Amino acid sequence: MQRESMEYDVVIVGGGPAGLTAAIRLRQLAMAQKKELSVCVLEKGSEIGAHILSGAVIDPCSLDELIPDWREQDTLLTTEVSHDQVYFLQNKERAWQIPTQFVPASMQNRGNYIASLGNLCRWLSERAEALEVEIFPGFAAAEVLYGEHAEVAGVITGDMGLAEDGSKKPSFEPGMELRAKYTLFAEGARGHLGKQLIANYQLDAGAGAQHYGLGLKELWDCDPQKHQQGLVIHGSGWPLSESGSGGGFFLYHHENNQISVGLIVDLNYQNPHVNPFEEFQRLKQHPLLKDYLTGGRRVGYGARVINKGGFHALPTMHMPGALLIGCDAGTLNYAKIKGTHTAMKSGMLAAETVFDALSEDEQGGKDLQAYAERFKASWLCDELYRSRNFGSALKKWGLYLGGAYNYLDQTLFGGKFPLDLQDDREDRETLKEVADCKQINYPKPDGVISFDRLSSVYLSNTSHEEDQPCHLRLQDRDIPLVINLGHYDAPEQRYCPAGVYEIIEQGEGPQLQINAQNCIHCKTCDIKDPNGNITWMTPEGGGGPNYPNM
Amino acid sequence: MTVLVIAEHNNSELNAATLAAITAATQLKDAVNLLIAGSGCSSVAEAAAKVQGVSRVLLADAPAYEHQLAENVAPLVVRLAEGHTHLLMPATTNGKNLMPRVAALLDVAQISDIIAIKSTDCFQRPIYAGNVIATVQSKDSLKVVTVRATAFEPAIAEGGNAMIDQVEASGDLELCRWERDDVTESTRPDLAQAEVVVSGGRGLGSAENFQLLEALADKLGAAIGASRAAVDAGFVSNDLQVGQTGKVVAPKLYIAVGISGAIQHLAGMKESKVIVAINKDEDAPIFQIADYGIVGDLFDILPALSAELDRSVN
Amino acid sequence: MKVLVAVKRVVDYNVKVRPNGDGSDVEIANAKMSMNPFDEIAVEEAVRMKEAGTATEVVAISLGEAACQDVVRTALAMGMDRGVLVETDARLEPLTVAKLLAAIVKREQFDLVILGKQAIDDDSNQTGQMLAALLGWPQGTFASHVVVDDDRVQVTRETDTGSQTLSFKLPGVVTSDLRLNEPRYVKLPNIMKAKKKHLEKITPLELDVDISTHLETIAVAEPTQRSGGIKVSDAKELVDKLRNEARVI
Ligand SMILES: Cc1cc2nc3c(=O)[nH]c(=O)nc-3n(C[C@H](O)[C@H](O)[C@H](O)COP(=O)(O)OP(=O)(O)OC[C@H]3O[C@@H](n4cnc5c(N)ncnc54)[C@H](O)[C@@H]3O)c2cc1C
Ligand code: SF4
């Protein structure tokens, strides 16, 4: 197809913390050295922040490096963490608070801020625009554009105005080529193009398997009497412990009497009956959490996967003409459940690498090994190395032992306990047959603390153009019924936090119905389908959730 | 002081929405004048005189008003406004077309689509597509208001005895020419306008089974709607979809058959006056908002319902 | 023919709006804002007129705070020639907007003004009609089809019973309904071009328009939640209730 084309020095895919930080840094360097350098950021959400979902407790160290005077400029991050509490939930009633002296250093948050990452991104995007970065929300990078020498030469934006059957509607607009000397991929966890690049360039050769957790989150307006601005609560145990699954919850007291509460469910769970959404709903019924929520009003819902593989799973982050940054590469520090400062740092490192490369040679298209060197020399590498075993320890040895290991490692050895733990099965390989697993009976929602999935999705303000090709592609149309339904009772019905997949009985027997318009772009199905049969593709730009303050 | 209601009519009959506006007017003031502006519309004036609550009918009968073009009627209303505290009209397409023009000529604000009257200068009206209700106070001495007809009971059409006064007509300003009206001829009322909607969901199981709904809809003179699940399953085309991404309807009676009642569907019909749910799952969320529910198999209930309607009519 | 299109910046169609904690206003902090969907249709219609050669110049105008220039830029990216922002932080009522628009129309001699029939935030559905009144112009509201033929416009309007066709001599006002057209997708290069198009800023004071308010919003609340009614046992009982209790059939 003949496509229009536009050229930039650097194209950045994804307007999250990594992408925006890289854009800002590139333009800062260009301005400081009075160089011409064109930078654009593509964002599939309808606006910057629309697809950002995070906790978030944010370590400001990278923001300090990027915009040292941010504290003077704006009232951006205002809620400093005042207390940290860590709990172990023994069952649906009891909670055991871990004494402060035993809380791993990585879980202590003094000096960090509680904030909406989406709003931080909105702020960063204003900064970037002031530095003449072109930001294009509503445009997804749908394909990688390769050059003559198999280098990445940019991206192609998604076609707009295709009908469900793939035919062109009157409003059809073909996607455009955005050509760049260097392209930075900052799509966040399980990037759709990042995944392809990792496969194409075999970037994961030698790296451990990447693991993921599904993070579900709600935002509540809460009773001012119960609100303790600055309080941060983390915990694990019940209810996931009932099915032997891993994960943990968080509850942060933001400003304006708001609370964000969430559960991260490790996607290496084995029991196909597990329903992460329902686990989250029943978690909120635990008195520890329920107390804070009672009298409040739920105002937001969303979900997004989070990388857990850490250091071991980091792929090679450079390839000809492109770099992977932030969670697209997997720079999250799972010991701290923080990926913002690390994503930002990787964005800065990438920007500096690219800027140097373009200063030396205007051609572009090179494989920038220098990025790896910069990474190794940075605090980022050190930080990820120190927490390399956190997730795997919990996974391998369970909560008690793993927790003890983590405590020892993180607190006494500063993360340098001389042992490497790795976990090499992919998350999709862990499901057991349904016959071998215990049914889980989830309680019905009460409509006050717990809710059903569809009324939750409603709060994510999700929408997609209705008449477009389904963006959730099945490689094999038979697998959902023959394998998934037969062996695992169709786990996609349960793991999807938006109820996109439904098995319906209709005439000729069960069928898989895909309600793609509900998709909140969390990427779980792309990870957890037992045969890797589902591929998440970019829908028409601007589609997806519209999170206001997540 | 008196309220002036501007009637909606087709030169032969008074539109029922006007009766609701008259009720709203009587909540404001005891004296209600009703303006009939049309051409050859004396029968409307006679009918209007019988409506309870109307004290005077003002009849402006002239060719210039035949199609009630806003350009011609607005100056008439402006002329008659004096001596009235409020000008009311139902929020029909005619009301929405005319009243802002009147308000601007009088240099006052308009309060659109009110659903409740708090006091003579304070009204409630939906904003954000009905997701929020605003209470609005007017500082103008003359209030121009359009009234959501479904929010007020219709005034009783018989038993009143108002005087009919002819008022002088202004001429045709000739700003605008009427070309034609096209009335949608269809055996079924338009989904968005229908007084009764019968809607089916996935529970119907197939496109063929939607015929069961049609039989019921025929008896009730109803439009047919559907939930998204039914549309996605291919039972009906998507122009019948009611809900967040489909049509928003507010009929007098909404019958949901085999529809679970996900919030996305409710968003399109929860303003209906009376909601009936038929579903075999007694925990279906639809029952939480239905005025009348039947738990049971729709394949038994639908034919019984049709039969019952036949029987009780005869 | 010079065409003016008014565009409003509103909370995006997909965002669910709720009252804030004390019920004084709606809670929309950090919500996505967009061009009012009906205005997008109005812009599309104007751009098509330009493309068809019936319009010589098409101008987009928005009124409100500085951020409203975003929607003017979107209109420019869709193909409008230039933009105007009447900038004020004051709350503007439809009547005020109509007065400001009338001032602009008089200043620049537009022949046709197209507006969305209604903004999806306050749902007033007034501005176009008010503007026509203030200018003494004809109005073609809720248009589903517009044909310009020299100095006459034919407008097909959506009505409660079907449709109505009117015609008038320019100048006039048209307000757009959903079925008028399907707005185009904005193309990336056009977003870039739009940044370079002229956008004039002006204040209500400069236009000499009084922007004091006539209405005050005292409170906002969620609509009363419906609660479940009763279960009936069979069709017979249902028909009886509908007929004699609810009286809806
Ligand atoms: C529930 C949860 C809680 C968390 N809590 C914390 C916390 O407390 N503290 C913390 O520091 N971190 C936390 N994180 C992690 C943190 O959110 C991530 O590490 C961080 O967002 C990663 O930044 P990023 O820029 O790499 O990717 P993202 O933030 O995911 O941003 C990627 C952006 O790219 C866009 N995009 C993706 N693909 C395309 C494409 N093909 N075309 C165009 N645009 C595209 C996306 O829409 C998105 O806007 C949490 C994460 C979750 C899920
Ligand atoms: S369809 Fe896939 S990506 Fe979309 S919400 Fe469901 S699991 Fe997440």
C173 forms beta bridges with C113, C139
Selecting from C30, C34, C188 the residue whose C-beta is nearest the C-beta of A176 gives C188
Nearest residue of C to residue A51, measured between CA atoms: C32
Ligand 1 nearest-atom number relative to CA A341: 11
Determine the Cα–Cα distance for residues B200 and B203; give it in Å rounded to an integer.
Answer: 7
pLDDT of residue B32: 97
Chain B hits for C159, Cβ within 8 Å:
93-94, 181
Contact between chains at A157 and C188 (C-beta distance less than 8 A): yes
B12 vs C: CB within 8 A: no
pLDDT at B150 > cutoff 90: no
User: B277 falls in which pLDDT band (50, 70, 90)?
Assistant: very high
In short, whether A277's Cβ falls inside 6 Å of ligand 2 is no
C15 vs A: CB within 8 A: yes
Chain C hits for A47, Cβ within 8 Å:
32
Q: What residue's CA is closest to ligand 1, atom 1?
A: A215
A423 or C56, which is more confident: C56
B218 forms beta bridges with none
To the question of pTM greater than 0.90 for the whole model, the response is yes
C-alpha distances in Å from residue A529, one per residue of A267, A293, A430:
10, 34, 10
pLDDT 10s digits, A39-58:
999 999 999 999 999 999 99
Read off the pLDDT of each residue in C85-114 and give the average, rounded to a whole number: 97
B1 or B118, which is more confident: B118
User: B227 falls in which pLDDT band (50, 70, 90)?
Assistant: very high
pLDDT of residue A100: 81
Active-site annotation holds for A54: yes
The residue annotated as part of the active site, out of A21, A38, A46, A54, is A54
pLDDT 10s digits, C24-77:
999 998 999 999 999 999 999 999 999 999 999 999 999 999 999 999 999 999
C188-196 and C69-78 helices, crossing angle to 10°: 120
pLDDT of residue B256: 98
Read off the pLDDT of each residue in B253-260 and give the average, rounded to a whole number: 97
Contact between chains at C166 and B122 (C-beta distance less than 8 A): no
Read off the pLDDT of each residue in A357-372 and give the average, rounded to a whole number: 96
Range name among A98-102, B133-137, B302-306, C100-104 with the lowest pLDDT average: A98-102
pLDDT 10s digits, C153-182:
999 999 888 899 999 999 999 999 999 999
Centre a 10 Å sphere on the Cβ of residue A491 and count the other Cβ atoms it contains.
Answer: 25
Q: C140: closest CA among C122, C166, C160?
A: C166
Range name among A209-218, A415-424, A483-492 with the lowest pLDDT average: A415-424
User: B74 falls in which pLDDT band (50, 70, 90)?
Assistant: very high
pLDDT at A407 > cutoff 80: no
Nearest residue of C to residue A136, measured between CA atoms: C188
pLDDT at A401 > cutoff 70: no
Read off the pLDDT of each residue in C207-233 and give the average, rounded to a whole number: 94
pLDDT of residue B238: 86
Determine the Cα–Cα distance for residues A66 and A60; give it in Å rounded to an integer.
Answer: 10
Selecting from B202, B245, B264 the residue whose C-beta is nearest the C-beta of A504 gives B202
Selecting from B113, B271, B274 the residue whose C-beta is nearest the C-beta of C123 gives B113
Q: What residue's CA is closest to ligand 1, atom 30?
A: A188
> Taking a C-beta distance cutoff of 8 angstroms, is the pair C155, C145 a contact?
yes
Quote the ligand 1 centre to A332 CA distance (angstroms).
Answer: 10
**B285 Cα to chain A: minimum distance (Å):** 10
Cβ-based contacts under 8 A for chains B and C: 240
User: A179 falls in which pLDDT band (50, 70, 90)?
Assistant: very high
Determine the Cα–Cα distance for residues A107 and B134; give it in Å rounded to an integer.
Answer: 46
pLDDT at A436 > cutoff 70: yes
pLDDT at A414 > cutoff 80: no
Phi-psi region of A258 (alpha: psi -120 to 50; beta: other; left: phi over 0): beta
pLDDT of residue A421: 60
Tally of CA atoms within 13 A in the half-sphere of B125 that contains its CB: 26
Contact between chains at C185 and A47 (C-beta distance less than 8 A): no
pLDDT of residue A225: 95
Ligand 2 nearest-atom number relative to CA A522: 8
Selecting from B206, B238, B285 the residue whose C-beta is nearest the C-beta of A507 gives B206
pLDDT 10s digits, A79-110:
999 999 999 999 999 999 988 877 777 788 99
Quote the ligand 2 centre to A212 CA distance (angstroms).
Answer: 14
The residue annotated as part of the active site, out of A121, A222, A327, A519, is A519
Determine the Cα–Cα distance for residues A524 and C246; give it in Å rounded to an integer.
Answer: 48
Determine the Cα–Cα distance for residues A128 and C198; give it in Å rounded to an integer.
Answer: 23
User: B266 falls in which pLDDT band (50, 70, 90)?
Assistant: very high
pLDDT of residue A405: 56
Determine the Cα–Cα distance for residues A76 and A70; give it in Å rounded to an integer.
Answer: 8
DSSP single-letter state for residue B55: -
In short, whether A521's Cβ falls inside 6 Å of ligand 2 is yes
Read off the pLDDT of each residue in B240-268 and give the average, rounded to a whole number: 92
Which listed ligand is nearest to A500 at the C-alpha? 2
pLDDT of residue A398: 57
A299 vs C: CB within 8 A: yes
User: A237 falls in which pLDDT band (50, 70, 90)?
Assistant: very high
pLDDT at B123 > cutoff 70: yes
B291 vs C: CB within 8 A: yes
pLDDT of residue A422: 63
Q: What percent of chain A has pLDDT over 70?
A: 94
Which listed ligand is nearest to A519 at the C-alpha? 2
pLDDT of residue C226: 86
Q: Which of C122, C144, C151, C226 to mutate to test the interface with B (most CBs of B within 10 A)?
A: C226
Q: What percent of chain A has pLDDT over 90?
A: 86
Mean pLDDT over the full length of chain C: 96
Mean pLDDT over the full length of chain B: 94
In short, whether A520's Cβ falls inside 6 Å of ligand 2 is yes
| Helix ranges restricted to H, A33-101 | 61-66, 70-73
Q: Which of B202, B209, B227, B232 to mutate to test the interface with A (most CBs of A within 10 A)?
A: B232
Centre a 10 Å sphere on the Cβ of residue A398 and count the other Cβ atoms it contains.
Answer: 13
Read off the pLDDT of each residue in A363-376 and give the average, rounded to a whole number: 97
Read off the pLDDT of each residue in A371-376 and give the average, rounded to a whole number: 98
> Taking a C-beta distance cutoff of 8 angstroms, is the pair B160, B50 a contact?
yes
Residues 119-148 of A with CB under 8 A from C: 119, 122, 134, 136, 138-139
pLDDT of residue B184: 74
- In chain B, what is the greatest distance between 2 CA atoms, to the nearest angstrom? 63
